[in-house]
């Protein structure tokens, strides 16, 4: 399939960049604490490798525990099971484990260590607020993640920025406490405080760079999964409608847990921000002045907001692309399908 190699290249470079930065980060810390360069290099590389392995092993267990999902037994939800079976047969991929999350918000996600042990989970709120065609579009999107194996990379990489951030905060606080104590004692121990602050600065820089790298991959993989859903269902419109309902549903839902936000089909926090910005400018976008943003007005508003400089900069820190950009991609695919020229080698041609 054309251009899937670009996603694989992006995943490979993201792993390399994040691992290189994290390794250099550990080496720099050890050097500042007066380890020799060779020892620092060995400990840094070993530490990076061990942490990636640790995250790979425990990441799925953390997601499973924090989302409180319920694994389905065979025959417990025949429609869900049959739909997934239909799609995995077409995709020539193994059947994932199926689960339902006791959560009223409309969302879905996949996670796991390998394609053969992946879990596909749907929220109860998704099944009750979307029609069957829309749910099929969501299921196909999630199977796209399994097909691309991008969720495995995200499992490994997602904690690296967080650790750098925690270290930065700890070092800044420890540095200030050390400097303050040294001034009170009037000794020259302030150098230790400066070292700790320097480590904090390095940690924060590492956090920003690694976070941006991981978020870029997170957004890209959503576009690829959207395109795969269009191919698998043959109905891009189903996922378009589903994304609109999911974004609106998440925007009015109570604040959600953030443990698995990068794995969801839509980020609850981002959905709230998107709808909130539009509502603040409701009078501007309500072209017919009827007090309601209809579908056409909402689409125009989202398109205009997506082009603003502020939103483009803000999207660099987002786990998901803006909803309108995702819908626009699906529309382009739909238009090509309607011409009859759409073929399997063009699944990702519009990404």
Four-residue CA torsion sign, 283, 288, 293, 297: negative
**Per-residue pLDDT for 2 more than 60?**
no
Q: How far apart are CA 102 and CA 95, in angstroms?
A: 22
Beta pairing class for 97-101 and 119-123: parallel
Residues 109/265, Cβ–Cβ less than 8 Å: yes
Q: What is the pLDDT of residue 51?
A: 75
Q: Is the Cβ–Cβ distance between 221 and 148 less than 8 Å?
A: yes
For residues 3-14, average pLDDT: 83
- Give whole-number Cα distances, 123 to 60, 232, 257, in Å: 17, 21, 13
- Average model confidence (pLDDT) for the chain? 81
Tell me which of 327 and 136 has the higher pLDDT: 136
Q: Which of 76, 81, 86, 142 is catalytic?
A: 142
Q: What is the pLDDT of residues 272-313, one digit of tens each?
A: 777 666 666 666 666 666 665 555 666 666 666 666 665 666
The pLDDT of residue 137: 97
Structure tokens at 335: 């238009």
Evaluate whether 189 touches 129 at the Cβ level (below 8 Å).
Answer: no
Which has the closest alpha carbon to 172: 199, 137, 149, 146?
199
What is the pLDDT at residue 344?
86
pLDDT for 181: 66
Over 60: is that where the pLDDT of 179 sits?
A: yes
- Residue range 15-47, pLDDT digits in tens: 777 777 777 777 777 766 666 767 767 776 777
87-105 pLDDT per residue, tens: 999 999 999 999 999 999 9
Is 142 assigned a catalytic role? yes
Per-residue pLDDT, 197: 78
- Once rounded to an integer, what is the mean pLDDT over residues 158-187? 69
Tokens of 289: 């002045």
Among 21-30, 135-144, 252-261, the minimum mean pLDDT is found in: 252-261
Judged against a pLDDT cut of 90, whether residue 234 lies above it is answered with yes
Q: What are phi and psi for residue 300, nearest 5 degrees?
A: -65, -40
Express as a percent the part of the chain with pLDDT over 70.
Answer: 77
| CA-CA-CA-CA torsion sign (11, 12, 15, 16) | negative
Contacting residues for 36 by C-beta, under 8 A, at least 6 apart: none
Q: What is the rounded CA–CA span in Å between residue 312 and residue 318? A: 10
Task: Tell which wins on pLDDT, 276 or 168.
Answer: 168
- H or E element at residue 121: strand 119-123
Q: How far is residue 77's CA from residue 307's CA, in Å, rounded to a whole number?
A: 42
pLDDT at 311: 60
| Cβ contacts of 194 within 8 Å, gap of 6 or more | 175, 179
State the pLDDT at residue 238.
95
Where do we find the tokens 């050390």? Answer: 178
Q: Categorize the per-residue pLDDT at 186 as very low, low, confident or very high, splitting at 50, 70 and 90.
A: low
Alpha carbon distance 47, 207 (integer Å): 17
Q: Which of 57, 68, 54 shows the shortest CA–CA distance to 113?
A: 57
Q: Mind giving me the DSSP string for 53-106? A: HHHHHHHHHHHHHHHT-EEPPTTSSHHHHHHHHHHHHHHT-PPPEEEEE--SS-
Asked if residues 236 and 330 have their Cβ atoms less than 8 Å apart, the reply is yes
């Amino acid at each position: 399939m054309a251009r899937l190699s670009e996603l694989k290249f992006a995943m490979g470079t993201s792993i390399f960049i994040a691992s290189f930065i994290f390794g250099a980060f550990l080496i720099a810390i050890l050097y500042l604490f007066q380890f020799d360069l060779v020892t620092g290099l060995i400990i840094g590389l070993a530490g990076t490798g061990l942490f990636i392995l640790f995250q790979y092993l425990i990441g799925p267990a953390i997601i499973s525990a924090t989302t409180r999902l319920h694994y389905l037994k065979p025959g417990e939800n025949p429609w869900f099971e049959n739909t997934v079976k239909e799609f995995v047969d077409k995709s020539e991929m193994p059947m994932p484990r199926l689960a339902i999350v006791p959560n009223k918000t409309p969302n879905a996600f996949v996670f796991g260590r390998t394609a053969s042990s992946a879990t596909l989970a749907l929220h109860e709120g998704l099944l009750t607020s979307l029609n069957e065609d829309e749910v099929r579009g969501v299921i196909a999107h999630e199977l796209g993640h399994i097909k691309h194996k991008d969720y495995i990379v995200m499992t490994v990489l997602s904690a690296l920025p967080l650790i750098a951030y925690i270290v930065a905060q700890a070092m800044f606080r420890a540095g200030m406490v050390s400097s303050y104590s040294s001034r009170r004692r009037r000794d020259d121990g302030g150098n230790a405080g400066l070292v700790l602050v320097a480590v904090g600065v390095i940690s924060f820089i590492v956090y920003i760079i690694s976070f941006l790298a991981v978020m870029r991959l997170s957004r890209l993989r959503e576009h690829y999964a959207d395109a795969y859903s269009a191919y698998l269902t043959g109905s891009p419109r189903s996922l378009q409608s589903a994304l609109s309902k999911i974004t609106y549903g998440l925007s009015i839902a109570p604040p959600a847990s953030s443990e698995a936000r990068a794995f969801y089909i839509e980020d609850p926090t981002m959905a709230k921000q998107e709808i909130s910005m539009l509502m603040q400018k409701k009078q501007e976008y309500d072209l017919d002045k009827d007090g309601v943003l209809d579908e056409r007005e909402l689409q125009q508003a989202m398109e205009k907001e997506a082009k603003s400089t502020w939103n483009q900069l803000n999207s660099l820190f987002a786990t998901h692309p803006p909803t309108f950009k995702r819908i626009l991609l699906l529309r382009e695919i739909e238009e090509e399908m309607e011409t009859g020229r759409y073929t399997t080698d063009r699944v990702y041609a519009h990404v």
